[in-house]
Chain A
Amino acid sequence: MATTMRPDAAPSPAHHHHPTYHEVTRDIAATLGHPKRGYFILFGFVLLVLAAGIVALLYQIRRGLGVAGYSPPVMWAVYVTTFVFWVGIAHSGTLISAILYLFRSAWRTSVYRTAEAMTVFAVMTAGLFPLIHLGRLWYAYWLFPYPNQRGLWVNFKSPLVWDVFAVSTYFTVSTLFLIVGLIPDVAAIRDRATGWRKKLYTITALGWRGADYQWRHYVKAYLYLAALATPLVLSVHSVVSWDFAMSIVPGWHATIFAPYFVAGAIYSGVAMVITLMVPLRKVFRLERYITVVHFENLSKLLLLTGMIVAYSYLVEYFIAWYGGNPIERATFWNRAFGDYWWASWTMILCNGALPWLLWFRKIRRSIPALFVLSLFVNLGMWFERYVIIVVSLSHEYEPYAMGNYTPTWVDWTILAGSFAWFFMWFLLFAKNFPTVSITEVKEIIPWPRRREVRA
């Protein structure tokens, strides 16, 4: 009978001195509300950067995509790069919350909420970029299936249309997953809160009381959502990779792209989870719930996916050489030794070389080292997409049609604005909803019993 969420999950070694259920509620509820001055200063800074991004966008809307440096043959550039970057970031959230849930990994309980919230906000950020990249963003509705004035519908054979369906499905499902996980937690906070927050949580708890008939449906719904989200997460970045792989651009047209992109997405996402979790744990004093064990497990995921990414890089170069196609070979020669050599080597260094450090246990268990490494991985993964997109487009078939691209201040400002947009949502979330799941952390703590359990 699979009535409980994790019937036989063994508590992790870090929980030898279990906090009591009441301590869990108290400690996690204490992270909410009453922000200090530092929070407001940070939030103000984030809003300022966001405003700068909006100004740059308005300028681009007024003057056209030329101000973003677009010029033939490079008509997909920083915006598509950043779109893929943020969609990739989103992937580890669902990996941790859905796939590790199905694998019954008890350690995920402390980290999954942050990862899931990060997923939702990263998709919200990613979703802006196809629109920004359109140039005439008031025609965004052309993406959706509707008949135009000649009665013609969208082309379902186009990977760009698949992308619309994949990303909007992913956004919807990951948001629902986050909300469902929050319901029992919000109810626990509701029963402790006062004032306007009590009203907010009473509404958002949807009348949750933890009654037996509620849990009965809840555990099933959660299980099926996890089962649906698991193939979804693998499909979304595959579809994103097909945006490239389905075309005949050298450097894009490869069957390895789907697994290569999915592994890269999870790799970048895990890095972002570490980047967010290190300061969060410190500021919220959650050292008791997010321990070195959690970071070590995350870094093992980072190591695994990093090795897959490094392998994909090798295979790409190997096939370019071994395949005997002179165009493909020239493209990869250009990547490594052409005008963009610095971008390619940044990517290879950050994603292909640095994760090898994680073979050392000392580094896996050192939180400062992991934090620094995660920043390099974030940087490297952005450059990976830059290399794939910009460098491939700049160097296709005909030498007379080759040309270089340089990002402008508009690109950089909008890129910075996207980080601000992401952190704005994350900061708002962190002070109003629990960033560590109260319910699931309690689940791995055994209930007090009066009698010994019969063997």
Chain B
Amino acid sequence: MSGHPGGVLAAFRHVDDAAQAIRDLRAKGFADVTAYTPVPNQEIAAAIGRQSSPVRLWTLLGGLTGLGLGLVMTLWMSLDYPIVVGGKPIPSVIPYIVIMFELTILCGALATITGLIVHAVRSRRPAAFDPRFTDDHIGVFVPCAPEGRGAVQQLLQAAGAEEVRIEA
């Protein structure tokens, strides 16, 4: 793996060790630690301490867009060819609710996926990786300058890492 900044990569077996190591690193001023877990984990997320995800905003805006789209589309398409039946109004909003509902869900879901791709896939940060992290290990990557690596390596080993290696 190239194209990532140099640093130290550690593999953990125990979740409490990994969470403690991350907290220790952050206390020492290493803010951009990347943690890899095969499953989402609350302890690790709490140790990393990031804000809630902006994906929810995508869902909300997508859903509202779909709702508006459904309303405007059904009204406009009815009014564009007015056939008056029994002197009743042309748009018949109650049945249009079905279309508005379906488009709310459709656009909400599409926007959620777009948000996920934008935030989680496109904005991938360069960091070293090991295939064990999608299997049964917790990975911790600390980007740091060559002179600080020894101290980080020691900290991670003391925290109980199964393996620590320098990634140039």
Interface residues in chain A, defined as those with a beta carbon under 8 Å from any beta carbon in chain B: 1, 3-5, 7, 20-22, 25, 145, 147, 150-154, 156-157, 161-162, 165-166, 168-169, 172-173, 176, 180, 184, 187-188, 190-192, 206-221, 224-225, 228-229, 231-232, 235, 239, 439-440, 442-443, 447-451
Contacts and interface: CB of A to CB of B under 8 A. Distances in A.
A165 B15 contact: no
A448 B109 contact: no
Given A188-B134, A449-B14, A209 B129 contact: yes
Say whether chain A's binding surface is mostly helix, strand, loop, or mixed.
helix
A61 B42 CA distance: 57
A206 B121 contact: yes
Interface stretch (B23-31, B112-120, B142-150): B112-120
Given A173-B105, A210-B38, A231-B105, A218 B120 contact: yes
Q: Which 3 A-B pairs have the closest CB atoms?
A: A191-B131, A21-B136, A447-B15
Interface residues of B, number: 65
Nearest to A441: B39
20 contacts: A1-B45, A4-B39, A22-B135, A145-B77, A156-B77, A157-B92, A162-B95, A165-B99, A172-B110, A184-B134, A207-B121, A209-B129, A212-B36, A213-B120, A213-B125, A219-B40, A232-B102, A439-B39, A442-B38, A450-B160
B78 interface: yes
Nearest to B59: A224
A212 B36 CA distance: 6
B38 A209 contact: no
B50 A216 contact: yes
Contact of A221 (B41, B74, B112, B160): B112
A212 B73 contact: no
A206 B136 contact: no
A148 to B, nearest CB: 10
Contacts of A145: 73, 77
B16 interface: yes
Interface in B94-109: 95-96, 98-99, 101-103, 105-106, 108-109
B135 A211 contact: no
Given A176-B109, A218-B116, A211 B125 contact: yes
Contacts of B108: 224, 228
Given A25-B135, A210-B37, A443-B39, A176 B113 contact: yes
B81 A235 contact: no
B13 interface: yes
A228 B113 CA distance: 12
B67 interface: no
Say whether chain B's binding surface is mostly helix, strand, loop, or mixed.
helix
A440 B109 CA distance: 21
Contacts of B35: 211-212
A191 B109 contact: no
Contacts of B110: 172, 176
Given A157-B95, A212-B35, A217-B55, 9 more contacts: A21-B136, A145-B73, A150-B81, A156-B99, A209-B133, A215-B37, A218-B120, A229-B105, A449-B15
Contacts of A211: 34-36, 124-125, 127
A221 B134 contact: no
B99 A162 contact: yes
B34 A213 contact: yes
Interface of B: 13-17, 34-42, 44-46, 48, 50, 52-56, 59, 63, 73-74, 77-78, 80-81, 92, 95-96, 98-99, 101-103, 105-106, 108-110, 112-113, 115-117, 119-121, 123-125, 127, 129, 131-136, 160
A180 B113 contact: yes
A166 B53 contact: no
Contacts of A449: 14-16
Contacts of B124: 207, 209, 211, 214
Specify which of A1, A7, A21 lies most central, judged by the most chain B CB atoms within 10 Å of its CB.
A21
A156 B95 contact: yes
A217 B14 CA distance: 24
Given A153-B78, A217-B116, A169 B106 contact: yes
A165 B119 CA distance: 29
A328 B14 CA distance: 68
Contacts of B106: 168-169, 172-173
B77 A220 contact: no
B41 A209 contact: no
A300 to B, nearest CB: 27
B45 A212 contact: yes
Contacts of B125: 211, 213
Contacts of B132: 191
Contacts of A218: 40, 116, 120
Contacts of A215: 37, 40-41, 45
Nearest to A172: B106
A192 B131 contact: yes
Contacts of A7: 42
A154 B77 contact: yes
Given A4-B45, A172-B106, A176-B109, A220 B53 contact: yes
A189 to B, nearest CB: 9
A206 B135 CA distance: 17
A206 B16 contact: no
Contacts of B42: 1, 3-4, 7
B46 A3 contact: yes
Contacts of A450: 14, 16-17, 160
